[in-house]
Amino acid sequence: MNGIINIFKPEGITSNGVVNAIKRLTGEKKIGHIGTLDPLAKGILPLFLGKYTKLISHCNQETKTYRAIATLGATSTTLDREGEIETVQIPEECTPKKIEETLHTFVGESEQIPPMYSAVKIKGKKLYQLARKGLEVEREPRLITLLQIRLLDSDLPDFSFEVTCSKGTYIRTLVDDIAKKLGTRAYLKDLTRTACGKIFTEKNALGLEDAKKMDKSDLQRKFIDPKYILYDWHEVRIDSAKLQRHISQGRTIPVSLDQISFSDPEKPISKAIARSQSGELIAAGSLEFSQDSGSRFCPEKVFI
């Protein structure tokens, strides 16, 4: 079964637990997702089923948006409420206005050191495996980008904020880095992912418990058409069974301009999807244009 569905992961379950639940519902063994959420976190978890797992690499570079609640004046071994908590002082000058000003200093590119309790691998070992043994190792900082961050509420020692950031950003680490700039420490109390890119949002997310009540056909009606995911790609219509067969074999095929629906003729992009006459997604790839030989579609990911 090929499909894309946006599931709202509840708190207290792993991302892999959500994947296994959808596997049982659909019978599809091959399912992948965008962006792992810790058991503590809740929010949207886009799932790709069957051959559509090939699209994950095209979607995984999108920005992600979170709502977070942080607690100032304490440290945590895991940087969230599930670790061992130790209280520290909060400076008197740590006001809501100061917090808001500090948040804004994080907008843009910066380096972030992954937390020990994370799935990052060093010499073949996941960091959280080492952390559980009481070990701490040196980690290389990673470049991250915060597109926007804004204070939502402040009721000290707690404050909440919304952030849109690049792939690979650890909100737990961000919370503690913010606190350090404020002259104290903090841990992540609550986290909700509200968006992955432009397409996957809370509005089109299906709750996991609601999904469990559906049969396979009802669940399929909640699938998201890949054209919305690849909204800025050109589209090529392939009517010929022979050409479809060539694409299934990974062969480049000639196409005429009247077969192409351009997403934006002014945009200098080559990315394109190929569909059958019935609308079935056949392949994702690129278009080549030549004055001598005309246009060609080059398949890269094949779905038939």
Residue 38 annotated among the catalytic residues of the structure? yes
Q: What DSSP letter does each residue of 199-268 carry, written as one string?
A: TEESTT-EEHHHHHTS-HHHHHTTPPPHHHHTTTSEEEEE--HHHHHHHHTT--EEE-GGGEE-S-TTS-
Cα–Cα distance measured from residue 61 to residue 63, given in angstroms and rounded to the nearest whole number: 7
Residue 255 burial (10 A CB sphere; 0-12, 13-18, 19+): buried
Cα–Cα distance measured from residue 267 to residue 62, given in angstroms and rounded to the nearest whole number: 19
- Kindly name the residue from 38, 210, 258, 264 that is annotated as catalytic: 38
- Please state whether 15 falls in left (phi above 0), alpha (psi between -120 and 50) or beta: alpha
Q: Are strands 206-207 and 3-9 parallel, antiparallel or unpaired?
A: parallel
- φ/ψ of 185, rounded to 5, equals -130, 165
Bond preceding residue 157 cis, omega within 30 of 0: yes
Pair of tokens at residue 94: 């740590």
Q: 37, 45 in Cβ contact below 8 A? A: yes
Give the residue numbers marked as catalytic: 38
